[in-house]
C-alpha cells in the first residue's frame, strides 16, 4: 500500500507538471530537495485554481480600467450588426428559390408585419432540427453574450471563478443575448423580415408522402427565444471553464507558440468569433492586455473617422444620361438612354465621411404610359459618401436610398388603350463612384458612374386566398420587379 501511495503521488505530480500547473521537479516527488526547490520558485502566472474555492467568494478579480473608460455602446452595436450580417449572409447563401422570391420580389414591411402577426405563441418547438435549436441557437446566444462582455470595461477581463463579479458579468451578457435573440426572431432585421418566418406554413416529418393531414409548422415557437440566452449562457460558462483550466495553462507554458494559440481559439469558438468581430485575433484575451480595448485595425479606422474635415462641403451641377425603361413608339418598357440633369449637395461630417442629397430630373423620359413608367422621371436620394480627397483630385464611393417618381403612369394593363393617369413613386437606391479633377482653388470637374435600383410593382399577383393545409400563406399577394439602371454624369463642382 505504501508503494501504491507513493506511485499515486508521483503520477499526480507528473500530470500537474505536464499541464503547466507546477514546474517539473525531481523524479522523487516527496524528497526534501523537491520541497526546497519549489519554495524558491515564483508562482506560475495564471496557474489553475480549484473550480469553487471557498476563499474566492470574496475575492475581487484584478480588472484594470483605462482612465475615464465607459461602456462601449457603439462597439457593441456595430459588432452585433456585423454578427447579424454574417448570419444572414449564411442564410442567403443556402436559400432555395422560394426563399429568394420572398426576399427579392415581395414587399418588405407588409410581409414583415404579417409574419409577426402569425407567430405561434402556443407551442414550444418551431419545427427545426435538434442541432439547429439546441446547438446552433445556444452558440448564437454565447457569441452575443461575449459581444456584451468584451464591450464592458468592468467585465471583459473577468475570468471564471465562483465570485459575484464573474456571475454578474455573465448575467449581463445573458441579458444582451436575450435582446439579440428577440430581435433575431421578431425584429425588423431578423428572420421574420428576411425570408418571412411565420408568414407561411410547410409540412414536416412526412417526406416524401406529404398530404393534407401531415404535420406542418410556420417555423415559430418559444424554443429559440428561451434556449438562445439560457443555454447560451451555459455555453459561455463551459468555454470559460475550458479556457481557465485547460487551454490557458498550455498557452502560458508555451508562450507565443502558434499551435497552442490555435488550440485556444478552437476550444472557444464563440469567444473567438466575438474577438474577430472587434478586429482582434481569435485567441485574444483581455486579461492578458489590461486596459486595451480597440485592436490596431479598429483604432486606425476610428482615428481616420475622428479627423476633422478640411472642407465644409461641395455643390455639383451635372448633365446625366441614364439607361432606363421607357415607352416610345409602341415599344412597352423598352430600354434607351434618357438625358436629364440634376444637383448634388454634400457636407463633410469627417475628413473621410460625407452626407449628401441628390435630385435629378429627365423631362418626357417616357412619352407613352404604362402601369409603371410614363411621363417625366424625378429621382431623390439621400446617403453617405467616402473616399480620398487630395489637393488636385478626389475619388469617392457613395451609397444612398431614395425614391423615383414618374409623373404620368396609367392603370391600364399593357397592350390596352390608356385609362386614368396618375403619378407613381417607387423605392430606389443607388451606388456610384465619382472622380473630381480640381481646376481652381475651389472649383473642379466631376465625372461619375452609378447604378440605380428601382423597385416597380408588378402587374402579376399571387393567387388569392391563404391556401389549404399544410401549405398556408399569409403574406401579401403583390410582387415587385427590381430593375437596375446604369448612368453617367459630368459637370462642374464648387467646394466651400
For residue 60, being part of any structural domain is answered with no
Residue 18: pLDDT band by 50, 70, 90 thresholds? very low
Asked whether residue 420 is assigned to any structural domain, the reply reads yes
* Of 186-190, 231-235, 242-246, 297-301, minimum mean pLDDT range: 297-301
Percent of all residues in the chain with a pLDDT value above 70, rounded to a whole number: 83
CB-neighbour burial class of residue 227 (10 A; exposed 0-12, middle 13-18, buried 19+): buried
Statement to judge: residues 240 and 334 lie in one domain: no
Q: Are residues 456 and 313 in the same domain?
A: yes
Whether the pLDDT of residue 337 is over 90: the answer is yes
The stretch 203-223 carries a mean pLDDT of 87
Match 525531481 to its residue by C-alpha cell.
26
Pair (21, 77) in one structural domain: no
Is residue 244 within 8 A of residue 160, CB to CB? The reply is yes
pLDDT band at residue 36 using 50, 70 and 90 as cut-offs: very low
Note whether residue 43 is domain-resident: no
User: Residue 137: inside a domain, yes or no?
Assistant: yes
Q: Of 259, 284, 301, at which residue does a domain stop?
A: 301
DSSP-assigned states of every residue in 375-428:
EEEEEEEEEEEEEEE-SSEEEEEEEEEEEEEEEEEESSPTTS----EEEEEEEE
What value does the mean pLDDT take over residues 115-123?
Answer: 96
Count other Cβ atoms within 10 Å, centred on residue 297.
Answer: 11
On whether both 257 and 159 belong to a single domain, the answer is yes
The answer to whether residues 364 and 343 belong to one domain is yes
- Report the first-to-last Cα separation within the chain, whole angstroms: 92
Instruction: Specify the higher pLDDT residue, 26 or 136.
Output: 136
Backbone angles phi, psi at 291, to 5 degrees: 80, 0
Predicted confidence (pLDDT) per residue in 383-415, tens digit? 999 998 888 899 999 999 999 999 999 877 655
Of 52-56, 140-144, 492-496, which one has max mean pLDDT? 140-144
262 and 363 both lie in a single domain:
no
For residue 427, pLDDT beyond 80: yes
Give percent of the chain above pLDDT 90.
Answer: 65
Residue 294 CA to residue 278 CA, distance in Å, equals 8
- Residue 106 domain boundaries: 73-301
Has residue 47 been placed in a domain? Answer: no
Task: Kindly report which listed range (8-12, 433-437, 448-452) carries the lowest average pLDDT score.
Answer: 8-12
Out of 240, 268, 301, a domain closes at 301
Q: Which residue has the higher pLDDT, 434 or 369?
A: 434
Q: Are residues 174 and 217 in the same domain?
A: yes
Q: Is the pLDDT of residue 56 over 60?
A: no
Domain end residue (candidates: 301, 325, 358): 301
Is 296 domain-assigned? yes
Which CATH number fits the domain that encloses residue 404?
2.40.160.20
Q: CA of 349: how far to CAs of 194, 269, 390, in Å?
A: 32, 38, 17
The answer to the question of residue 248 being in a domain is: yes
Q: Check whether residue 8 and residue 88 sit in a common domain.
A: no
Q: Are residues 30 and 81 in the same domain?
A: no
Q: pTM, whole model, 2 decimals?
A: 0.79
Distance CA 201, CA 110 (A): 18
Note the pLDDT tens digit of each residue in 439-460: 988 899 999 999 999 999 998 8
Same domain, 411 and 443: yes
Q: Tens of pLDDT along 164-197?
A: 999 999 999 999 999 999 999 999 999 999 999 9
d(CA 254, CA 268) in angstroms, rounded, equals 18
Residue 19 has pLDDT above 50, yes or no: no
Q: For 58-72, 207-221, 288-302, which range has the lowest pLDDT when averaged over its residues?
A: 58-72
3-state secondary structure at position 18: helix
Residue 291 sits in the same domain as residue 316: no
Average pLDDT over all residues of the chain: 85
Dmax (CA) for the chain in angstroms is: 108
Question: Residue 48: inside a domain, yes or no?
Answer: no
Q: How far is CA 282 from CA 149, 164, 268, 275, 302, in A?
A: 15, 27, 9, 5, 21
- Backbone dihedral region for residue 221 (phi beyond 0: left; psi -120 to 50: alpha; all else: beta): left
Minimum mean pLDDT range among 72-76, 143-147, 416-420? 416-420
Whether pLDDT at 33 is above 80: no
Query: Structurally, how many domains does the chain consist of?
Result: 3
* 435 plus 469 within the same structural domain: yes
Asked if 138 and 228 count as a contact pair (C-beta separation under 8 A), the reply is yes
Amino acid at each position: 500500500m505504501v508503494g501504491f501511495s507513493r506511485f499515486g503521488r508521483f503520477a499526480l505530480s507528473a500530470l500537474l507538471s505536464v499541464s503547466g500547473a507546477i514546474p517539473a521537479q525531481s523524479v522523487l516527488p516527496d524528497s526534501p530537495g523537491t520541497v526546497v526547490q519549489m519554495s524558491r520558485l515564483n508562482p506560475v502566472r495564471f496557474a489553475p485554481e480549484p473550480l469553487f474555492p471557498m476563499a474566492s467568494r470574496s475575492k475581487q478579480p484584478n480588472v484594470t480600467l483605462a482612465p475615464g473608460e465607459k461602456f462601449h455602446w457603439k462597439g457593441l452595436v456595430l459588432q452585433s450588426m456585423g454578427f447579424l450580417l454574417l448570419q444572414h449572409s449564411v442564410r442567403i447563401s443556402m436559400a432555395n428559390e422560394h426563399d429568394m422570391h420572398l426576399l427579392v420580389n415581395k414587399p418588405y414591411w407588409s410581409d414583415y408585419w404579417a409574419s409577426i402577426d402569425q407567430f405561434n405563441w402556443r407551442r414550444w418547438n418551431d419545427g427545426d432540427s435538434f442541432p439547429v435549436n439546441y446547438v446552433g441557437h445556444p452558440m448564437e446566444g454565447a457569441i452575443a453574450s461575449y459581444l456584451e462582455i468584451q464591450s464592458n470595461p468592468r467585465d471583459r477581463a473577468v475570468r471564471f471563478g465562483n465570485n459575484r463579479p464573474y456571475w454578474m458579468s455573465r448575467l449581463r451578457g445573458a441579458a444582451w443575448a436575450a435582446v439579440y435573440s428577440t430581435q433575431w426572431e421578431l425584429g425588423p432585421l431578423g428572420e421574420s423580415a428576411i425570408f418571412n418566418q411565420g408568414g407561411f406554413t410547410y409540412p414536416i416529418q412526412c417526406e416524401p408522402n406529404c398530404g393534407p393531414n401531415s404535420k406542418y409548422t410556420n417555423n415559430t415557437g418559444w424554443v429559440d427565444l428561451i434556449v438562445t440566452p439560457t443555454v447560451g449562457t451555459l455555453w459561455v460558462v463551459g468555454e470559460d471553464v475550458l479556457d481557465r483550466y485547460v487551454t490557458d495553462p498550455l498557452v502560458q507554458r508555451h508562450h507565443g507558440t502558434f499551435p497552442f494559440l490555435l488550440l485556444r481559439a478552437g476550444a472557444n469558438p464563440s469567444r473567438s468569433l466575438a474577438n474577430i468581430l472587434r478586429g482582434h485575433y481569435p485567441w485574444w484575451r483581455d486579461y492578458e492586455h489590461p486596459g486595451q480595448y480597440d485592436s490596431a485595425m479598429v483604432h486606425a479606422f476610428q482615428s481616420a473617422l475622428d479627423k476633422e474635415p478640411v472642407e465644409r462641403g461641395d455643390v455639383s451641377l451635372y448633365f446625366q444620361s441614364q439607361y432606363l425603361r421607357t415607352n416610345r413608339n409602341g415599344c412597352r418598357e423598352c430600354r434607351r438612354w434618357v438625358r436629364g440633369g440634376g444637383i448634388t449637395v454634400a457636407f463633410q461630417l469627417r475628413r473621410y465621411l460625407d452626407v449628401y442629397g441628390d435630385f435629378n430630373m429627365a423631362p418626357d423620359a417616357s412619352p407613352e404610359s404604362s402601369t409603371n413608367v410614363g411621363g417625366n422621371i424625378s429621382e431623390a436620394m439621400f446617403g453617405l459618401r467616402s473616399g480620398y480627397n487630395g489637393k488636385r483630385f478626389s475619388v469617392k464611393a457613395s451609397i444612398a436610398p431614395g425614391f423615383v417618381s414618374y409623373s404620368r403612369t396609367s392603370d391600364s394593363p399593357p397592350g390596352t388603350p390608356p385609362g386614368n393617369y396618375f403619378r407613381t413613386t417607387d423605392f430606389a437606391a443607388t451606388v456610384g463612384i465619382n472622380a473630381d479633377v480640381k481646376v481652381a482653388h475651389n472649383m473642379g470637374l466631376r465625372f461619375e458612374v452609378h447604378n440605380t435600383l428601382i423597385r416597380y410593382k408588378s402587374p402579376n399577383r399571387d393567387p388569392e386566398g391563404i391556401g389549404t393545409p399544410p401549405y398556408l400563406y399569409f403574406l401579401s399577394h403583390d410582387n415587385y420587379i427590381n430593375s437596375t439602371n446604369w448612368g453617367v454624369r459630368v459637370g462642374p463642382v464648387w467646394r466651400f
